[in-house]
Amino acid sequence: MNHLKFNNPVIKGFYPDPSICKVGDTYYLACSSFQFFPGVPLFESKDLINWEPIGHALTRPSQIMLEKVNSSGGVFAPTIRHNNGRFYMTTTNDTTRQNFIVWTDDIYGEWSEPIFIEQGGIDPDLYFEGDRVFFMSNGSDEDGRGVILQCEIDIATGNMLTPSHPLWKGTGGRYLESPHMYKINDWYYLMAAEGGTEFGHMITYARSKLLHGPFEAYPHNPVLTNRNLGGYEIQAIGHGDLIQDGEGNWWIFHLGFRQIGQWIPFHHLGREVFLAPVTFHEDGWFTAGHDGTTRREFETDRIGEHVVQQEKKLYTFGNTKRDLEWVYLRHPRLENYKLQEDQLTLTGTAVTLDQADTPTFLAIRQREFNAVITSVVALSGSGEAGITLYMDESHHYDLAIRKRNDQLEAVLRLNIGDIKHVQSVVAIEADQAAKLRIESSPVQYSFSIEVNGQTIPLGTAQTKYLSSEVAGGFTGVVIGLYAVGEDTVADFTKFACEYL
């Protein structure tokens, strides 16, 4: 049989905390979204390698409170499951400290209003067995040590039918989280993440013959981690979910990130979706990846030779859909947005990018290190509009045009923590459309503006200052088109993000 090579990540850019289920011959995957809206992006695939966005689970403000939530607050890790013809998604609003479930009978349509669960913690999981439903999340025991908790719930109301029961305390790594329960053959497997979602991240698991334990840890934990691959591009492997394909093979989908250089341990594209093969052995234990690690490339005979890994290189207004690939900050005022085939018109407000609020802002995730991002911007009013490389309200690089005393000027502003620095300002002719251009490499962004056929450089900035290692938090850089100013209207045309 021919071997297929596939490359990781299989979903690129800021799509953390993947969870997966299978219905018929189709796989469905959900990711976390934090302060961005709509919440919990959804994907589908026929082959585990190529994934298409199909929507979001949280599309209405009534489903999720995001009003002025801090960056990296809001929607934490989801679990997606399918049972008796119905999809269920459970997640945490970490800002309100509430776990909840939404459901749908049509994954391409709307999901239900939230059903809240009293058990606390984060990273909730659902396990169905017959007519019973069990809910798991992380928590603490009486000594303050991390533990996975389980209760039985009424799936229709969210009511707890049993008290929370401690299942497993992990292997001793910090931040025990991401529980997922599976019944495979005669064993219950409980998989989790430990070590924190940084360079020490790892996937561990335990098993039991009984649903409520006691659970015995896999003797060679962690089953999957890159924590000892110093200098390797892919790091922070953890937070996994198992899936069996149509041929009976097992796989694990999990998060990881790509650091910007071999000896430059920073990442700014966010945590992404990775895939590794899983092998069950005669003794009932399973192993994963390449000697317990996830590699950039896997060669396998488990995927049909007809499968070709597709890679989209160009993103424009015309070949993307606003409700699938573009996101807002928190709950948008939709009357301020008008997107046509090749034009986006934004109406500004007084809210700026520096506030934990809802500026006029529409963004798409940065998916690769090497890119060229361009858009023509025409401005009316006294405010500003442009392209922002946005990590959070304290860490973003803004390339914009603005009005100052009836003079139009281009500006490059670097926002790094408490430092708000205007790198350069260039006057341009009033009432003139300008083409903004950003060139991205793993370690640097370069900014310029094109007017009258002339390219004017405005400066450079290092990518690492937009990384999670500097900014903190759990998100990644998004490419935002924005407008600020109550009398400001901006037309964006010929937007393109081309990956090299």
User: The domain at 314-499 falls in which architecture?
Assistant: Sandwich (2.60)
Mean pLDDT of 289-298: 97
Return the pLDDT at 431. Answer: 66
pLDDT tops 90 at residue 457: yes
Return the pLDDT at 2. Answer: 66
pLDDT tops 60 at residue 40: yes
pLDDT tops 60 at residue 109: yes
* Residues in a beta bridge with 208: 188
Share of the chain above pLDDT 70, in %: 99
Q: Residues 177, 233, 392, 393: which is the catalytic one? A: 177
Could you tell me whether strands 202-208 and 187-194 are parallel, antiparallel, or unpaired per DSSP bridges?
antiparallel
The yes-or-no answer on residue 177 being catalytic is yes
Full-model pTM? 0.97
Mean pLDDT of the chain: 96
Q: Which CATH superfamily is domain 4-300 in?
A: Glycosyl hydrolase domain; family 43 (2.115.10.20)
pLDDT tops 60 at residue 1: no
Least confident of 201-215, 239-253, 255-269, 420-434: 420-434
Confidence of residue 404 (pLDDT cuts 50, 70, 90): confident
Distance of alpha carbon 179 from alpha carbon 238, whole angstroms: 11
What pLDDT digit, counting tens, does each position of 345-375 carry?
999 999 999 999 999 999 999 999 999 999 9
Q: Residues 17, 123, 393, 409: which is the catalytic one? A: 17
Measure Cα distances from 197 to 60, 193, 203, 285, 385 in Å: 29, 8, 11, 25, 35
The yes-or-no answer on residue 406 being catalytic is no
Least confident of 80-94, 173-187, 418-432: 418-432
Return the pLDDT at 341. Answer: 82
Measure Cα distances from 458 to 37, 412, 454 in Å: 32, 6, 13
Confidence of residue 209 (pLDDT cuts 50, 70, 90): very high
Which is nearest to 234 in space by CA: 444, 9, 391?
9
Q: Where are the domains of the chain?
A: 4-300, 314-499
Return the pLDDT at 143. Answer: 82
Which position has the higher pLDDT, 405 or 222?
222
Which is nearest to 489 in space by CA: 384, 390, 351?
384
pLDDT tops 60 at residue 181: yes
Mean pLDDT of 49-71: 97
